[in-house]
Amino acid sequence: MLQDQDLVALQEVRTKVQQAYAAWQKYSTFSQGQIDRVVDHVAATAREHSQRLAEMAAEETGYGNARDKLAKNLLAAELLPKRMHGMKTVGVLRDDSELKVVEIGVPMGVIAAILPTTNPTSTAIYKILICLKSGNGIVLSPHPRAKRCSCETATLLAQAALEAGAPAGIVGCIFNSTVETTNELMRHRRTAAILSTGGSGIVKAAYSSGKPAFGVGPGNVPVVIEKSADVNDAVAKVVAGKSFDYGTLCSSEQAIVAEESLRESVLAALKTNKAYLCDAKQGDALGKLLLTPQFTVNADCVGQPAPKIAQMAGFQVPQDIRVLAAEVGGVGKQYPLSAEKLSPVLSLFFVKDFPAALDTAEAILRFGGLGHTCAIYSKDDTKIREFAVRMPAMRILCNTPTPQGSTGITTNLFPAMTLGCGAAAGNITGDNIGPLNLINIKRLAYEVRKPEEAFDMPAARLGPARAPISGGSQDVDKQTIISAVERYLAQRGIPMTPTPSEKMSTPAVAEVVDRFLSSKRTATPAVVPPAAPAAIPPPQPEIPDLSVAIVDFVCEYDVRNAINKSQKIYIGPKTIVTPAARDLASQHEILIMAKRR
């Protein structure tokens, strides 16, 4: 029966995503202990089959070699699980009793994992393990040139997850992967996030899918050999890194940058370590071979041994040569070898001094490797730190091969096969991607203060004038106070507006009340307490109630009258004193606190 293979492939994507989503709904209820048991068993299975999977990857893709692909498989199957051991990813992650905040890990859902052809099995192991550890489901989309080895890896690990108690379908793989199926996977409504590893096109597609995406940029890794370095050790490590899996890792060394004074020692060390020094003609031939007219990497040269690449470029080198090295006159499209090459071909730059080395290294990064990785060999920590601060890269490695250092084999960086390049390269993160990148964290927060205790609110930013304020034993508002004051003044025969003959002007009643309300809202008591030294003089001897009249309200007008008549004003604990009256009275000791017996 004839079938439309494109429709079959698209239906496979939809089926696998739905299965993964149904499985994740169950898996998302697993405890941390249950998840860890699944991860441990899956990792053990990956270790058991690492050698066979490495051989399959080298044979199917024709890139790199089985020995180094085994090392990358073990990075994912052994170093990564060790680093994740004890890591909390679900449930309560942190309970801060001092801050009264509880952090709770929440898985994202189904992760779409796009695999490259250069590292098809190690990246599959790595992505499956970090997704399972973070409580997520995963559906993998292999590179069309690496379907067999990637799908074999996914099938083995899916069965291991099932054996450890994970629900069926939690790990899925698209067996009929194409560009169309990969796009369908990334855009599917049940896809929660994307882990994309591959060329710039697929990474761009991931970020254009409308889903949260972790993609990585290309690497164009410069290595500075500073004059305090052990040159023989530095060059030996650079050659080891550059020849690792024939340069297929995007964090492989692309160029050596050294001061002119180190030229002879660097060249001698390269020869000692089986690097072939190309002449100018051979260097030009390599540039034309490795980069296409569109300035993309020639796929036929990716991950090939140095002698084969030399032969393809039209010259012969001994079969034990590990790296081809050529001096380059500058950085940019007119110098093809200054770009990323994904093969054991190394560019050489000799400059006058350390500042010039920094300039060249930065230019190399900006020419196709922004945000990725760089390295320095030096014993001068001041210059190492200067280099680290200056370089626009997220991984600054020191005295170590860059493929092994960037992925956590020779450093304590998180073991990873997906290396973020930060915002400068259009990536969401500069991390080595791990389980904690694949969870959300929700927070339970308890009240620790009242709103009015959180900050000092200026009076001008307070609410409407009629907002209630505290006035002794009950709350009153502005209009109530105005009415009380006007009745008080009327009873005493005091005019609302002072005459020109008054010694000093008297504020309108509303203005006085406004000042009083402002003082209340800024925590200045309007009712003057007995012990407030700034508002009332020290208490006088208690006076019998028969000899004095205790007033209920005092304004500035009352105080000025008392001053003119050389009188005192007797107040009680419930007397309302306006701010202006209080200030004026304190200068002349007019107010006397009287207590009834």
Backbone angles phi, psi at 356, to 5 degrees: -70, -35
Q: What is the DSSP letter of 327?
A: E
Fold of the domain built from segment(s) 5-216+438-445: Aldehyde Dehydrogenase; Chain A, domain 1 (3.40.605)
Instruction: Give the separation between CA 333 and CA 542, rounded to whole angstroms.
Output: 97
For residue 204, CA distances in Å to 100, 218, 357, 381 come to 41, 12, 32, 38
**546-593 pLDDT tens trace:** 456 788 888 888 888 888 888 888 888 878 888 888 888 888 888 888
140 SS3 class: strand
Query: Are the C-beta atoms of residues 268 and 235 closer than 8 Å to each other?
Result: no
Average pLDDT over residues 312-337: 97
For the chain, give the longest Cα–Cα distance. 123
Closest alpha carbon to 335 in 279, 283, 392: 283
Q: What is the pLDDT of residue 512?
A: 60
Q: Is 461 helix (H, G, I), strand (E, B) or coil?
A: helix
pLDDT digits (tens, 9 = 90+) for 183-232: 999 999 999 999 998 777 777 888 888 899 998 878 999 999 999 999 99
User: What's the full length of the chain, in residues?
Assistant: 597
Taking only the tens place, the pLDDT of each residue in 222-254 is 999 999 999 999 999 999 999 999 999 999 999
Confidence class of residue 355 from pLDDT cuts 50, 70 and 90? Answer: very high
Query: Can you tell me the mean pLDDT for 138-160?
Result: 97
Task: Write out the CATH class of domain 221-413.
Answer: alpha beta
User: What is the C-alpha separation between 229 and 227, in angstroms, rounded?
Assistant: 5
Within this chain, domains 5-216+438-445 and 221-413 share the same CATH topology: no
Q: Residue 540 above 60 pLDDT?
A: no
Backbone angles phi, psi at 352, to 5 degrees: -75, -35
What are the pLDDT digits (tens) for 257-274?
999 999 999 999 999 999
What is the phi/psi pair of residue 370, to 5°? -55, 125
| pTM metric for this prediction | 0.77
- For residue 67, give both structure tokens: 């020995």
The residues with which 343 forms a beta bridge, in sequence order, are none
Q: Given this model, what pLDDT does residue 455 score?
A: 87
pLDDT at 507 (0 to 100): 53
Look at residue 513 in the predicted model and tell me its pLDDT. Answer: 62
Domain positions in the chain are 5-216+438-445, 221-413, 459-593
The candidate with the shortest Cα–Cα distance to 73, out of 121, 112, 39, is 121
pLDDT in tens, 15-62: 999 999 999 999 999 999 999 999 999 999 999 999 999 999 999 999
Q: Which residues are catalytic?
A: 250
415 DSSP assignment:
P
